[in-house]
Amino acid sequence: MISKDISELDISLLLEAIFQKYGYDFRQYSQAHIRRRIINRMVLSGLEDISDIQSNVLNDEAFASKLFQDLSITVTEMFRDPCFYKSLRENVIPVLKTYPFIKIWHAGCSTGEEAYSMSILMQEEGLYNRTIIYATDFNQHALNKAKEGIFSNKMMKEYTANYQLSGGKESFSKYYTSNYDSVIMNQSLKKNIVWANHNLVTDSVFAEIHIILCRNVLIYFNNDLQNKVQSLFYESLINGGILCLGSKESLCFSNLSEEYSEMDKNQKIFKKKYIENEL
């Protein structure tokens, strides 16, 4: 019988053990998110108590890797929330066209679907040859899958519908090759994507970024960690740089809320206010 009576202290001790041994810091993630993922791993592994989780994490690196994947956020899809991508085309692309070179940061890119979506969008807007996309995540398993660019054929109907609703200008099938039950994204889409392991909790800023996309990641962090990551984004953006959050996320309670203006309130697209250089 699996015990679901897991205290906050139990969770804190487990997360501290993970941090001390492996350096992965989940200590400021949402308790509700962590609790759900721990219980799910207990069910899948046939463990009855959280002490069993801690013992396995400390003594079995393969088990620990599975738990880290559980605790990370890997929910994504191509052209997720089509209205967001339509707003990018209408409101953000005209701004990006004013720059001679464009740096985009997909923070928490998971398995890469949204990074490939941006690659397609920039190609269609004639900007890809002067764009570099940094797609980062701390989950190396997800990054490896992203680099491969191989996805299930079953998802293509949904992804095609998303693409069309987002204002896509071509036939979506142009961007991939079918191979039995899978599709392989075109190599041209990968040309200017840099895949990198980066942990939003512990790693430092990316400098001189024009647009940051971090959608539906911050909702898994507590308020203190959200503010820490928001500071990381703010320091990474150029003057007038653009920050894109997820549909359930907001700057309202951020310490930096006054430092941005809204480009699209409904799609959570914000522009960093210009700071005049001091004499």
| Mean pLDDT across 255-270 | 94
> For residue range 174-202, what is the model confidence (pLDDT) as tens digits?
999 998 899 999 999 999 999 999 988 88
Contact status, residue 130 vs residue 102, Cβ threshold 8 Å: yes
For residue 276, the model assigns a pLDDT of 66
Separation in Å, CA 13 to CA 22, 48, 221, 225: 14, 17, 18, 18
**112 compared with 6, residue with greater pLDDT:** 112
The predicted structure's pLDDT at residue 4: 58
Exposure string over 149-181, b if 16+ CB within 10 A, otherwise e: bebeeeebeebbebbeebbbeeebeebbeeeee
Q: What angle do CA 22, 27, 31 make, to 5 degrees?
A: 130
Q: Are the C-beta atoms of residues 240 and 271 closer than 8 Å to each other?
A: yes
> Of 145, 63, 152, 140, nearest to 111 (Cα)?
145
> How sure is the predictor about 3, in pLDDT bands with cuts at 50, 70 and 90?
low
Q: Indicate if the alpha-carbon torsion angle 21, 144, 82, 92 is positive or negative.
A: positive
Closest to 125 in 3D by CA, of 168, 160, 157: 168
Both tokens of residue 92?
Answer: 């953000």
Domain with CATH 3.40.50.150 in the chain: 82-272
pLDDT given at position 163: 97
In this prediction, residues 64-92 reach a mean pLDDT of 89
Q: CA–CA separation, 163 vs 86, rounded Å?
A: 9
CATH class of 82-272: alpha beta
Summarised one tens digit per residue, pLDDT across range 31-47 is 888 888 899 888 888 88
Whose CA is closest to 15, among 252, 201, 257? 201
Would you call 109 exposed, middle or buried from its count of C-beta atoms within 10 A (0-12, 13-18, 19+)? Answer: buried
Rounded Cα gap, residues 78 and 165, in angstroms: 12
Q: Which of 76, 117, 111, 120 has the alpha carbon at shortest distance from 246?
A: 76
Asked if the model's pLDDT at residue 223 lies above 80, the reply is: yes
